[in-house]
Amino acid sequence: MSPGPTFDRVYPALKEQLMSGRFAPGDHLEPAAIGRDLNSSITPVRDALHRLVGEKLVEAPRNDGFRVPSPTEAELRDLYRWSRELLEQALRRRPSGSGAAALDPGEEDVMPGSAAWSAADLFRHIARRSGNAELEAAVENVSDRLAAMRVVETRLFADLAEELAGLCALLAARDTGPLRRAIAAYHRRRQRCVPDLLVAARRLRPSP
């Protein structure tokens, strides 16, 4: 039997587990155990893990099994810096032939500032408005790689909702200067807190 349909189920489920912070940095990922958890044979799990290695959500050091990335302080700061640089590029661009990209179908129901928006939603929206598909894909990937750390942020920063609402308000105002400065401040804050974020990531996990 082809593993395709099973892979199509296992891959997004495993990716969601990684992004939700179910696993701690450095955790070993055992395909057989994951297969039991996801009601799958080992082959689709291994295929999903290899794909996630390509997306940098999983590591396979020296081909000696799979594990959750365990970034150093410098590596995590670089990842936040890369997120900021990508968003700055997106904000400098305008889609050809228009001043701002139209909202995608259904996006009108979740306008900037809605409680349904997350940081990933906001940054994806900014990237989509750039009109550059490669830039959008890069922002999506860095958001995926930072997703588990954003779970940790909710436990360290008491004002996340207000911070995000402020960014959304600046986006809605279509004034890129203040928005660029606010996004830079957003990322600098996290770069300063990298040691605390890494300690918390290793100690805290969501409740089952």
Fold of 4-67: Arc Repressor Mutant, subunit A (1.10.10)
Instruction: Check pLDDT > 80 for residue 97.
Output: no
Q: What is the pLDDT of residues 50-76, one digit of tens each?
A: 999 999 999 998 878 999 999 999 999
What is the rounded distance in angstroms from the CA atom of residue 76 to the CA atom of residue 55?
16
Interacting residues of 82 by C-beta distance below 8 A, sequence separation 6+? 142
Q: What is the mean pLDDT of residues 92-114?
A: 47
Q: What is the mean pLDDT of the chain?
A: 86
Q: What is the pLDDT of residues 153-170, one digit of tens each?
A: 988 999 998 999 999 889
According to DSSP, residue 173 is labeled: T
pLDDT value at residue 190 = 97
According to DSSP, residue 86 is labeled: H
Q: How many CB atoms lie within 10 A of CB 161?
A: 11
Map out the domains of the chain as residue ranges.
Answer: 4-67, 73-203
What is the rounded distance in angstroms from the CA atom of residue 139 to the CA atom of residue 119?
11
66: helix, coil or strand? strand
Please count the residues of the chain: 208
User: For the chain, give me the number of helices (H) and strands (E)?
Assistant: 9, 2
- CA-wise closest residue to 112 among 161, 150, 165: 165
Instruction: Check pLDDT > 80 for residue 204.
Output: no
What is the rounded distance in angstroms from the CA atom of residue 24 to the CA atom of residue 30?
14
pTM for this predicted structure: 0.84
What is the rounded distance in angstroms from the CA atom of residue 149 to the CA atom of residue 59?
17
Instruction: Check pLDDT > 70 for residue 115.
Output: no
